[in-house]
Amino acid sequence: MTSDAMFIHQPASNGYYFGEEHPFDPIRFKLTVELLQAVGALSQEQIVRPPAGLPNMNELLALVHRADYVNAVTKISEDVLSDESSMLAEQYGLHADETPHFKGMHTAALAIVEGTVAAADAVMQNKTKHAYHIAGGLHHAFPSRGSGFCVYNDAAVAIEHLRRSYDARVLYIDTDVHHGDGVQWVYYADPNVCTYSIHETGKFLYPGTGYVYEKGIDRGFGSCYNMPLEPYTEDDSFLECFETTIRKVIESFKPDIIISNHGCDAHAYDELSHLHCSMRIYHEIPKLIHELAHTYTDGRWVALGGGGYDKWRVVPRAWSLVWLTMIDHPLMQALSDGTNPSLPDSWLQAWQSKSPNPLPLYWMDDMSSILAIPRRQEITERNRVTMSIAIQDL
């Protein structure tokens, strides 16, 4: 295994918790870390906290978020029950069931931003080739409001920091099943930031954006690419569309660094989307991005966790595969060779009693448990038409 990778986690990120019934659960971090530890791929000593000496975090937030929004989040975090906090929450998108406000919200959300900025700095300062921050990837937050479980947009803040501190050309790759709208709109007019998102079409899924005609504006026209997929898309079509389009995009844009969002909610088990993929795509996605990083950016790659709501059966395996790819772990070679190693007994025994479903026994899925889609060929052909439109100018 190589040592050209850094695993970053800020403990305060565990406080980013909307409540017991909310699907965005920080237990996903613990499940993933313990799985990696169980296979000998990560020790406690290897988990890096963001170092002291980062730029002032309020100044970093101000690169993307409006002062009135940050002030509102801070106020709400300190006094969640007051009438003023309730009014501010309603005004700034931090209400109801989607992105409810909670005590300590500002501190926890800020810790996530801190982790992603630290990852970006570590890569650009040649402390490591790759950096992984599993708590990052809050891609729906906007400059003036929260949205889609996201309070602060850590990816957008890190990208702006990269632009201003290193004059870096940034390629943002988003493979979460939901369109990476917050990052896209922040950089819609910036020719030095290319946003690429592959996701379920917004015709049927939140946030209802990410169409192929969303290409950027002004000087940023042509630096935004979307690959919306039909509902019930399966592995073969997903991977065909992803590999074909992202290779074209990166060859055209020629970035200095890649930031990728590894939301794993395109899986057939995930209840918040309609795609029908298996663990196969979560084996192939980081492999391809890893290859592209070494081909185009001298290995400079920051990976973020993102979404994923089957927290027991899908997220720990999918997020672990990103790290296993970064460190060139033997498990990745075994999977590439067509074998399917079992998950460690110690991890299964520790968590099975807490999971509402039987935990998978192997790294890849038993495909007999995932029903085939009768309209597979029709869906594939529709995706190919969309793919040709998405990259027709490249």
CA distance 9 to 135: 7
The residue among 76, 57, 68, 207 whose CA lies nearest residue 144 is: 68
Six-digit token string for 385: 């038409």
Percentage of the chain lying above the pLDDT 70 cut: 98
By the 8 A CB rule, do 65 and 152 touch?
Answer: yes
CA distance 171 to 71: 30
Residue 385: per-residue pLDDT: 98
Tens-digit pLDDT profile for residues 138-170: 999 999 999 999 999 999 999 999 999 999 999
Distance of CA 228 to the CA centre of its chain: 16
Q: Is 83 exposed, middle or buried (0-12, 13-18, 19+ CB in 10 A)?
A: exposed
Q: Write the single-letter amino acid at 234.
A: E
Beta bridge partners of 273: none
Residue 55: per-residue pLDDT: 67
Residue 3: per-residue pLDDT: 66
State the greatest distance between any 2 C-alpha atoms of the chain, in Å, as a whole number. Answer: 59
Instruction: Please state, as a whole number, how many other Cβ atoms lie within 10 Å of the Cβ of residue 320.
Output: 26
- pLDDT band (50, 70, 90) for residue 53: low
Residue 57: per-residue pLDDT: 84
Q: Average per-residue pLDDT in the chain? A: 96
Residue 52: per-residue pLDDT: 61
Lowest mean pLDDT among 43-47, 54-58, 233-237: 54-58
φ/ψ bin of 218: left (φ > 0), alpha (ψ from -120 to 50), beta (otherwise): left
3-state secondary structure at position 283: helix
Q: Is pLDDT larger for residue 57 or for residue 176?
A: 176
The residue among 314, 268, 262, 311 whose CA lies nearest residue 288 is: 262
Q: Between 3.50.50.60, 3.40.800.20, 3.10.580.10, 3.40.50.970, what CATH number should domain 5-390 receive?
A: 3.40.800.20
Model confidence, pTM: 0.97
Residue 162: per-residue pLDDT: 98
Output the CA angle 354-359-364, nearest 5 degrees: 150
Strand 130-133 to strand 301-304: parallel, antiparallel, or no bridges (unpaired)? parallel
Six-digit token string for 71: 């002030």
**Helix or strand run (H / E) with residue 170:** strand 170-174
Instruction: Please state, as a whole number, how many other Cβ atoms lie within 10 Å of the Cβ of residue 340.
Output: 13
Tens-digit pLDDT profile for residues 267-286: 999 999 999 999 999 999 99
CA distance 72 to 299: 39
By the 8 A CB rule, do 379 and 230 touch?
Answer: yes
Instruction: Please state, as a whole number, how many other Cβ atoms lie within 10 Å of the Cβ of residue 375.
Output: 12
The residue among 110, 113, 114, 92 whose CA lies nearest residue 101 is: 92
**Helix or strand run (H / E) with residue 87:** helix 83-91
Residue 101: per-residue pLDDT: 94
3-state secondary structure at position 50: coil
Six-digit token string for 325: 């790819």
Distance of CA 383 to the CA centre of its chain: 22
CA distance 301 to 329: 17
Tens-digit pLDDT profile for residues 285-342: 999 999 999 999 999 999 999 999 999 999 999 999 999 999 999 999 999 999 999 9
By the 8 A CB rule, do 96 and 86 touch?
Answer: no
By the 8 A CB rule, do 316 and 37 touch?
Answer: no
Tens-digit pLDDT profile for residues 68-92: 999 999 999 998 889 899 999 999 9
3-state secondary structure at position 160: helix
